[in-house]
Chains A and B, each alone.
Chain A
Amino acid sequence: MSSLNPAAAGPLVGAPAADNYLTHSRGFWSWAATLDHKRIGVMYLAGIFTMFLVGGLFAVLLRSVLLTPDAAAGGVKTIVDANMYNRFFTLHGAVMVFIVIIPGIPAALGNFVLPLMLGAKDVAFPRLNLCSFYLWLIGTAMALASLYWGGVDTGWTFYTPYSTKVGSSGAFGGVVPVVAGAFVLGFSSIFTGLNFIVTIHKLRPPGMTWFRMPLFLWGTYATAVIQVLATPVLGITLLLLLAERLLGIGFFDSELGGDPVLFQHFFWFYSHPAVYIMILPAMGVMSELISVFSHKHIFGYKFIAFSSVAIAILGFLVWGHHMFTSGQSELLGVIFSAITFSIAIPSAVKMFNWLTTLYKGSIDFKAPMCYALSFMWIFGIGGLTGLFLGMMGLDQHLHDTYFVVAHFHYVMAGTIFVFFGAIHYWWPKMTGRMYDEGAAVLASLLMFIGFNMTFFIQFLMGTRGMPRRYYAYRPEFQFHHIVSTMGSYVMLAAVLLLIYVLIKSLRSGRPAPANPWGAGSMEWQCASPPPHDNFKTPPPVVDAYDYESLEWDERVGGYVHRGRRGGPAATH
């Protein structure tokens, strides 16, 4: 290795390098037709964040509707009628699941970070990568186009026969464009997964062995396997749904001998693994954040890595736990329940490993760490409440109540916390600018408070028997709903503050050093923002979680390697 001297090289000196991936070429087409994984990642991030705001807007609207109980009970629903409310929660769910969270961490941040972390120059198939981005764009446009046809009111699960027979207005309705949009988004997801698997297999530089890879890459790899192998089932399910709605084929229609439960099996065969598509990359980011901001080697690397793989595999075998009350056979239910419990173990293992990583660390409460610690709390609750739902006898009571709503928000919306943490973490690398730490931490605290206000009380509603997707409800739940809605407003404020922080950083942020956090993984060894082709020569591979040689350097305002010149033992 010739240039083993990053400490003395240009990238570590204060100002952003003149030639980086952002300035490398200019003009609309240099972005629209780019094959650079970093630019594609940035475009994804802009798109996904915008759609997060759209999905969040629907959430705030529907929470506002729920401030008052029921016309019959003396309350007045002033904002919208039941049909509109049903459209709100459907679009909130569909946008957040298919458009925001599933591609969120892998497509936006994974695209930007994965090749850098690996020490590669790009993903394996850059054109395919651009193609996935445009598919995401088209799918999103199709889903939003449904608003033109009156929106969708089927719930994001599109359960038959409601979605094939009634739902919305007319035979076409809003259901067709949304379902077709989700279909296209599925392709986008498959291509991203395929790209990442090949990249990780084939583009690791010499010395980057499987067990030297940062855990984010393990998380992304496990995710990619699910994306490639589960998403086709969603494709065929949605095609069948369209065929049934437009042509009346009757696979799911009991009048023709079809089976409505069959749709649920097909749907959850994808959509449960999809939960792990959402959570596994988040867990990968968590391992990075916890270790970096405690300045301490991650504990139990292999257990974390293998638990990702275990979750990915088991995740394929638990879909039926969404159907304990659907009339599926009792035997199936028992099997699904048993496997569901087994999946709790690898998740618990990760929690304990993160905890032990904190032990005797040097914990720095930067915004990304605040989001990460929030996630420990949130995922702790989300994971543990999953146990209640996995118990078949209890699920009979809790299924389709607010308990479930709260549970999956604690899990799936919990990943949004990691998503935000990751945005802050890699923001200096992406933009070359630091953000206002104080305001960002404040936003994360507000978000944490708002989130728990919104969703914790929903557990209490759920156990008392408040069903989900209810426009009108019994007055005994009004207090709970008001608290929950207020919480959503706090989260809204937090998101607005977050946007302010990010915009301010873009306009007037301090130039970022190459390694502002003292992280050991590869992406921090190139300049911020990275040059167009990442690394002139593959950088030396070191233990990504070894912080011993990293020291704060006041002159560059970031961390630099000491003693790299001497060649740490890990370097090949």
Chain B
Amino acid sequence: MTGILADSLGLMPPKASTFAPAVDFWFDFTLWVSIFFFVLIIGLMMIFMVMYRRRPGVRAIVTPTHSTVLELSWTIIPTILVVLMFWGGFKTYMDQRVMPSGAYEIGVNAKQWAWEFTYPNGIRHPELHVPKDVPVVLTMFSDDVLHSFFIPAFRVKMDVMRGRYTKLWFQATLASPPGGYYPVLCTEYCGTSHSTMVTKCVVHETRAEFDQWLRDADPLKKLTPEQYDEYVRDPAAFIAAHPDIQGLQSPADMGRKLWDTKGCKQCHSIDGKVGTGPSWLGIWGAQHEFSNAPPAVVEENYVRESIENPRAKALKGYAANAMPTYQGRITDREIDSIIAFIKTLKSGSETK
């Protein structure tokens, strides 16, 4: 099953899941039917427009004002065709909606405006990675408003909502090219940065490659407490001494990555531009005033509290409940990295 028109005209994204051929086939089927009827109707209309255009002295010819045979035939033929289409849509839909058993399960959390994927080993990561040829079930929920999970290349979509789990499954059939990815999009309007609530889906060629990625996904998590202390004391030396730990960078760089991927950047700029939340540029050590608490200086504990319990102190001039809590969604080590990153954002530098 495939779609001839859809393929040759490049109407569809790459076919990267088991659903794609069936969806494209029925798309093609409907497209052929549509083209046939469109050409029939509009073609005849245009012929009539030319043949029967008004000419002086020529009157319209009286033809029968109804014909039961004709009218029944153009009621019944389309009916048969739409019954076929319904059946096609129904069959593909049931394949999409019936979850396979024994699939690889990944949790999906949506919030304004970031995706986060929880893998069976507890790793939380902003990108979706899956092995090829393995059925994957996503169990999804949202922290706030409605979102919708969409991977065009897989032809799958499902709304994600607060207070109810929704599920979606697929089986990837085409590994993403090295360094490449399939876009994961939010398709249910969810506010200011709806259009940047986008992430990557990487399909690994083999299960082993996927497992390797999963092990390396969170370098911080791999460190023992002793190693972690050592790393914090002198990151450069520690990284140099442990080339086997992939992806490990200095705390500030790790923090920058988190800012980029955990949804921080949607509201907090690092160049002084005021967004939904205060910019992080030059924020370290500044005095903050609150509508519900005495003033405080921006230091470690304040940053930690703002991440875990953002409503405790409502910064003046900003919406009090704009930020979701990250409690349970971020590790202590990650908060340390973010603090390290904020410390580097001094105002007065050339970025201002």
A and B touch in the complex (CB under 8 A): yes
**Which residues of A line the B interface, CB within 8 A?**
70, 72, 82-83, 86, 153-155, 159, 161-162, 165-167, 169, 253-255, 258-261, 294-303, 324-327, 330, 333-334, 337-338, 341-342, 344-345, 348-349, 351-353, 355-356, 358-365, 373, 376-377, 380-381, 384-385, 387-388, 390-397, 399-401, 460, 463-465, 467-474, 545, 547-548
Q: Are B92 and A465 in contact, with the CB atoms below 8 A?
A: no
Asked, given contacts A153-B191, A351-B41, A391-B92, whether A330 binds B97 with beta carbons under 8 Å apart, the answer is yes
Q: Are A83 and B94 in contact, with the CB atoms below 8 A?
A: no
- Chain B residues with Cβ under 8 A from A377's Cβ? 42, 45
A464 to B14, CA, bound (A): 9
A-B contact pairs, 13 of them (CB 8 A): A82-B192, A82-B194, A166-B145, A260-B146, A296-B63, A337-B89, A349-B71, A387-B33, A393-B96, A394-B89, A400-B157, A463-B12, A464-B13
Asked, given contacts A297-B65, A344-B78, A464-B12, whether A337 binds B152 with beta carbons under 8 Å apart, the answer is no
Partner of B66, one of A301, A395, A397, A401: A301
Instruction: Please give me the residue from chain A that is nearest to B182 by CB atom.
Output: A465
Binds A, one of B21-29, B131-139, B214-222, B303-311: B21-29
Q: Are A260 and B161 in contact, with the CB atoms below 8 A?
A: yes
Interface 0/1 of B173-192, CB less than 8 Å to A: 00000000001011111111
Instruction: Please give me the residue from chain B that is nearest to A346 by CB atom.
Output: B75
Q: Are A358 and B52 in contact, with the CB atoms below 8 A?
A: yes
| B62 on the A face (CB < 8 A) | yes
Interface 0/1 of B120-164, CB less than 8 Å to A: 000000000000000000000000111010101101111101111
Interface 0/1 of B70-85, CB less than 8 Å to A: 1100110011001101
A161 to B66, CA, bound (A): 52
Q: Are A467 and B186 in contact, with the CB atoms below 8 A?
A: yes
Partner of B53, one of A333, A345, A363: A363
Asked, given contacts A295-B60, A392-B89, A467-B186, whether A162 binds B96 with beta carbons under 8 Å apart, the answer is no
- Chain B residues with Cβ under 8 A from A345's Cβ? 75, 78-79, 82
Q: Are A384 and B195 in contact, with the CB atoms below 8 A?
A: no
A360 to B96, CA, bound (A): 49
| B34 on the A face (CB < 8 A) | yes
Instruction: Please give me the residue from chain B that is nearest to A341 by CB atom.
Output: B82
Q: Are B189 and A469 in contact, with the CB atoms below 8 A?
A: yes
Pair count A-B, CB < 8 A: 279
Report the minimum CB–CB distance from A173 to chain B (whole Å).
11
Interface 0/1 of B35-77, CB less than 8 Å to A: 0011001101100110011110011111101110011001100
Asked, given contacts A301-B66, A388-B30, A548-B62, whether A376 binds B161 with beta carbons under 8 Å apart, the answer is no
A208 to B157, CA, bound (A): 53
Report the minimum CB–CB distance from B325 to chain A (whole Å).
14
A299 to B93, CA, bound (A): 39
Partner of A393, one of B33, B83, B95, B145: B95
A373 to B82, CA, bound (A): 25
Q: Which of B55, B60, B66, B196 has the most CB of A within 10 A?
A: B60
Asked, given contacts A327-B166, A468-B187, whether A387 binds B192 with beta carbons under 8 Å apart, the answer is no
Asked, given contacts A161-B145, A463-B6, whether A334 binds B191 with beta carbons under 8 Å apart, the answer is no
A127 to B165, CA, bound (A): 52
Asked, given contacts A355-B41, A394-B92, A469-B189, whether A254 binds B163 with beta carbons under 8 Å apart, the answer is yes
Asked, given contacts A260-B162, A388-B27, whether A400 binds B188 with beta carbons under 8 Å apart, the answer is yes
Q: Are B82 and A376 in contact, with the CB atoms below 8 A?
A: no
Q: Are B89 and A401 in contact, with the CB atoms below 8 A?
A: no
- Chain A residues with Cβ under 8 A from B191's Cβ? 86, 153, 162, 166-167
Partner of A465, one of B26, B33, B83, B183: B183
Q: Which of B27, B89, B146, B195 has the most CB of A within 10 A?
A: B89
Instruction: Please give me the residue from chain B that is nearest to A474 by CB atom.
Output: B183
Q: Are A387 and B85 in contact, with the CB atoms below 8 A?
A: yes
**Which residues of B line the A interface, CB within 8 A?**
6, 11-13, 19, 22-23, 26-27, 30-31, 33-34, 37-38, 41-42, 44-45, 48-49, 52-55, 58-63, 65-67, 70-71, 74-75, 78-79, 82-83, 85-86, 88-97, 112, 144-146, 148, 150, 152-153, 155-159, 161-164, 166, 183, 185-196, 319
Q: Are B92 and A393 in contact, with the CB atoms below 8 A?
A: yes
Q: Are A327 and B13 in contact, with the CB atoms below 8 A?
A: no
Given contacts A165-B145, A297-B62, A391-B92, 12 further A-B contacts (CB under 8 A): A70-B196, A327-B159, A330-B97, A337-B93, A345-B82, A349-B74, A384-B38, A391-B26, A399-B148, A471-B194, A545-B65, A547-B60
Q: Are A393 and B54 in contact, with the CB atoms below 8 A?
A: no
A295 to B60, CA, bound (A): 6
A547 to B59, CA, bound (A): 10
Q: Which of B6, B83, B159 has the most CB of A within 10 A?
A: B159
Q: Are B82 and A380 in contact, with the CB atoms below 8 A?
A: no
- Chain B residues with Cβ under 8 A from A254's Cβ? 161-164
Q: Are A360 and B187 in contact, with the CB atoms below 8 A?
A: no
Q: Which of A299, A303, A364, A467 has the most CB of B within 10 A?
A: A467
Q: Are A380 and B93 in contact, with the CB atoms below 8 A?
A: no
A300 to B26, CA, bound (A): 33
A155 to B37, CA, bound (A): 34
- Chain A residues with Cβ under 8 A from B156's Cβ? 396-397
A17 to B325, CA, bound (A): 74
Asked, given contacts A393-B23, A397-B155, A464-B13, whether A363 binds B49 with beta carbons under 8 Å apart, the answer is yes
Q: Are A467 and B82 in contact, with the CB atoms below 8 A?
A: no
Instruction: Please give me the residue from chain A that is nearest to B158 by CB atom.
Output: A325
- Chain B residues with Cβ under 8 A from A547's Cβ? 60
Asked, given contacts A465-B13, A465-B152, A468-B187, whether A300 binds B60 with beta carbons under 8 Å apart, the answer is no
Instruction: Please give me the residue from chain B that is nearest to A545 by CB atom.
Output: B65
Report the minimum CB–CB distance from B88 to chain A (whole Å).
6
- Chain B residues with Cβ under 8 A from A401's Cβ? 187
Q: 7 closest pairs, A vs B, by CB?
A: A254-B163, A393-B92, A465-B152, A391-B89, A392-B93, A470-B195, A384-B34
Q: Are A394 and B190 in contact, with the CB atoms below 8 A?
A: no
Instruction: Please give me the residue from chain A that is nearest to B44 by CB atom.
Output: A355
- Chain A residues with Cβ under 8 A from B162's Cβ? 161, 254-255, 260
A153 to B190, CA, bound (A): 10
A546 to B314, CA, bound (A): 75
Q: Are B48 and A359 in contact, with the CB atoms below 8 A?
A: yes
Partner of B94, one of A70, A326, A330, A342: A330
Q: Are B49 and A358 in contact, with the CB atoms below 8 A?
A: yes
- Chain B residues with Cβ under 8 A from A333's Cβ? 93
A83 to B195, CA, bound (A): 11
Q: Are B48 and A348 in contact, with the CB atoms below 8 A?
A: no
Partner of B88, one of A303, A385, A391: A391
Q: Are B52 and A301 in contact, with the CB atoms below 8 A?
A: no
A153 to B193, CA, bound (A): 12
Asked, given contacts A326-B159, A337-B89, A460-B11, whether A361 binds B144 with beta carbons under 8 Å apart, the answer is no
Q: Are A393 and B88 in contact, with the CB atoms below 8 A?
A: yes
Partner of B148, one of A166, A325, A344: A325
Partner of B152, one of A299, A392, A397: A397
Partner of B146, one of A82, A161, A167, A545: A161
A359 to B45, CA, bound (A): 8
Asked, given contacts A385-B34, A400-B187, whether A390 binds B48 with beta carbons under 8 Å apart, the answer is no
Q: Are B45 and A376 in contact, with the CB atoms below 8 A?
A: yes
Q: Are B90 and A397 in contact, with the CB atoms below 8 A?
A: no
Q: Are B157 and A399 in contact, with the CB atoms below 8 A?
A: yes
Q: Are A400 and B148 in contact, with the CB atoms below 8 A?
A: yes
- Chain B residues with Cβ under 8 A from A395's Cβ? 89, 93
- Chain B residues with Cβ under 8 A from A154's Cβ? 189
Partner of B158, one of A82, A153, A327: A327
Q: Are B65 and A376 in contact, with the CB atoms below 8 A?
A: no
A169 to B33, CA, bound (A): 48
Asked, given contacts A162-B146, A295-B60, A399-B187, whether A393 binds B90 with beta carbons under 8 Å apart, the answer is yes
Q: Are B38 and A380 in contact, with the CB atoms below 8 A?
A: yes
Q: Are B30 and A355 in contact, with the CB atoms below 8 A?
A: no
- Chain B residues with Cβ under 8 A from A253's Cβ? 163
Report the minimum CB–CB distance from A306 to chain B (whole Å).
11
